Chain A
Amino acid sequence: MFLHTFLCAGVVPFATAAVVAIAVAQFGAVPRVYWLLGTALGFVAGYIALKNQSGIVPAIASITRPQTAADWLPIIVLLALGVGLLLAQSAPRWIGIGLAGLLALAVPLRLLCTNARLTSEWTATEKLACVCLLASAFGAIWLTLARNENARTAKTQLLLLLIDATGIAAALTISGVLVYGQACGSLAAALAGTALASAFVHWQNRNSVDEAHDASEAFGWSSGFPAAAGVITFSLGGFIILGHFFADLSATSALLLFVSLAAAGGPLFEGLLRRAAWQHAVIRTLACLVPLGVAVKLSFG
C-alpha cells in the first residue's frame, strides 16, 4: 500500500509537474506560466493515478463524471489554471479578478451541495453564511499567496508551502480520510517537481544568473509560485473544507490549517521585511508551523 501511495501520490505528480514545466519552458514560457501548468497538471495526474485502481478509463471517468465531492477538485483546479493563465497574460486585470471571485464563490457551493447533513439540516441563512465565509477565505488566501513576489523570501516560502501541504495531508489522514491525505500529498509532490524543473531551467540558462540579483529570482521561484496561488488555494483549501464537512477534521483544525497556509506563502508586514533575512525566516516559519503543528495534534483528538 505504501509503495502504491508513494508512486501515485509522489512519483507521478512530481514527474508530471517536472516534465510539463520543463517542456513548456523550452517553448519560452515565463516562470508564471510553467509554474501554473506544472503544479495544476501534476496534481491532476496524481489524482488520476490515485483513482487508477480499476484501470485508467474509470480513473479518468471519475473526473469527467464526478461522483464524490472530492472528484470535483481536479476540475476546480483546471478552472483555476485557466483563470491563472488569463491573469498571467495581458488580459484586463478586472476580468481575471472577476473570474477568480466567481470561482471562489462557486467552489464551496459545488463542494458542499452533496453534503446530506448540510443540505437537509441547515437553514437557508446558515447555508448562505457558510458559503460566503468560505468564499471569503478562498479569496483572501488566493490574494495573499498571489501578491507575494519577494525574491528574498521565496526559498523559505516555497519550503514552508511544501511542509504545509504535507502537514495538511497528515492532518486529513489522521482525521480519518486517507484519500484526501494522499491527494494533498500529490499537490506537495507537484509543487516540488515544478520547483525542481524551475531550477533545472535556471541551470540551463545559467549565463543569465550572473545578471540576476538573487538566485531565487533566477530559479523563477519568487515570480513562479505566486502564479500558482489559485491552484494551491483550491486544492489544499478544498480538501481542508471537505475534511471538515465530510470527515472529522474539527473547525479549529481547519481554521488553523488555513492560517498556516496563508502564513507560508503570503507577504509579511513591511516592518518585518526590513529585518534581517534570518529573523524574517524564523518569524514566518513560526507563523506557519505552529498552527500547522497544533492542527495536526488536534487531529489525533
Chain B
Amino acid sequence: MSISTRGVAFWSSVFCLLAAEQAAAIDYYTVDPAHTSIVFSVAHSGFSYTYGFFRKATGTYKLDKDNGANCSFSFTIDANSLDTNNQDRDKHLRSPDFFDVQQYPTITFQSTRCTASNTQDGVIYQLTGNLTIHGVTKQVNVPLRMLGSGPGPYKDQRTGFLCQIELKRTDFDMKNLLDGNLVGDAVGITVSFEGSQQQPGTAPVQ
C-alpha cells in the first residue's frame, strides 16, 4: 500500500505542529546579575562562621513547565570576585592556598539531569550536574526551589530561585588550613537568583 502525497503532507504538518508546541513550552532565561546572590559560610577555628559573597556571576537556564526533564541550568561565577569584608583574607582566599584564581578563574555549574515536583513550598527542581571548583569537577545534587514566576518590574517575564547546599572543600582539592579546624571543611552555600526571559529569536541556552 502506498502512502499518498497528501497523507505525507498531513502527517508532516502534525509533527511540525507538535514540535513547535514542544518548543513553545520551553522558556529561555538569562540570569540577572543584579538580583543574584551567592553567599558562602565556613567555620573559623570552631568559634564562628565567616560569610562571604561572590559578586560576579552569569548564567542561563531553560524551563519547561510541563516536563522537568527538559529543564537545564548553567552558571559561571567569577572566583576573583569573592568578598568576605576583609581584604587580607580575600587575598589569601584568592591565592593558591585556596581558590588559586590566577589558574582557576571561574567556578562553573552545568546541570545534566533535572526533575521537577510540586510541593507545599512550590515547585522544587532537583538538579544533578557538574560543579567545577579549583579545576576539580564533581557531580553534585542541587535542590532548587522556585520562589516566584511572573512579570517583573521592567515588564519582562521573570522567575526566581533559591538553593542551599553544603559542600566539602576537600572534595575540590582545597586542603589547606584544615588542622585544628582553622578553616572548616564544610562550606555552606546559598544561591538566590532571578532570570529574565529571553525574547524569541535570541540564542537559546546550551
Contact = CB atoms under 8 A, between A and B. Distances in A.
A68 B100 contact: yes
A115 B179 CA distance: 29
B96 A180 contact: yes
Given A115-B103, A117-B102, A176 B177 contact: no
**Interface on chain B toward A: helix, strand, loop, or mixed SS?**
loop
B19 interface: no
Interface string A234-256: 00000000100111100000000
Contacts of B179: 1, 4
Contact of A67 (B170, B173, B176): B173
Given A1-B180, A178-B176, A67 B135 contact: yes
Interface string B78-104: 000000000010011011110011111
Given A1-B179, A1-B180, A246 B173 contact: no
Interface string A157-179: 00000000000000000001111
Contact of B105 (A1, A68, A69, A116): A116
Given A4-B179, A53-B178, A176 B95 contact: yes
A197 to B, nearest CB: 30
B96 A247 contact: yes
Contacts of B176: 178-179
A204 interface: no
A116 B103 CA distance: 6
Contacts of A116: 101-105
A246 B96 contact: yes
B17 interface: no
A115 B175 contact: no
Interface in A112-161: 114-118
A68 B178 CA distance: 19
Interface residues of A, number: 23
B175 A177 contact: no
A122 B97 CA distance: 25
A207 interface: no
Nearest to B104: A116
B182 interface: yes
Contacts of A117: 102, 105
A203 B95 CA distance: 45
A90 interface: no
Contacts of B92: 176
A176 B178 CA distance: 16
A161 to B, nearest CB: 25
27 contacts: A1-B179, A67-B135, A67-B173, A69-B96, A69-B103, A115-B102, A115-B103, A116-B101, A116-B102, A116-B103, A117-B102, A117-B105, A176-B92, A176-B94, A176-B97, A178-B97, A178-B176, A179-B96, A179-B97, A179-B176, A246-B95, A246-B96, A246-B103, A247-B95, A247-B96, A247-B102, A248-B91
Closest 3 CB pairs of A and B: A1-B179, A176-B95, A116-B105
Interface of A: 1, 4, 53-54, 67-70, 114-118, 176-180, 242, 245-248
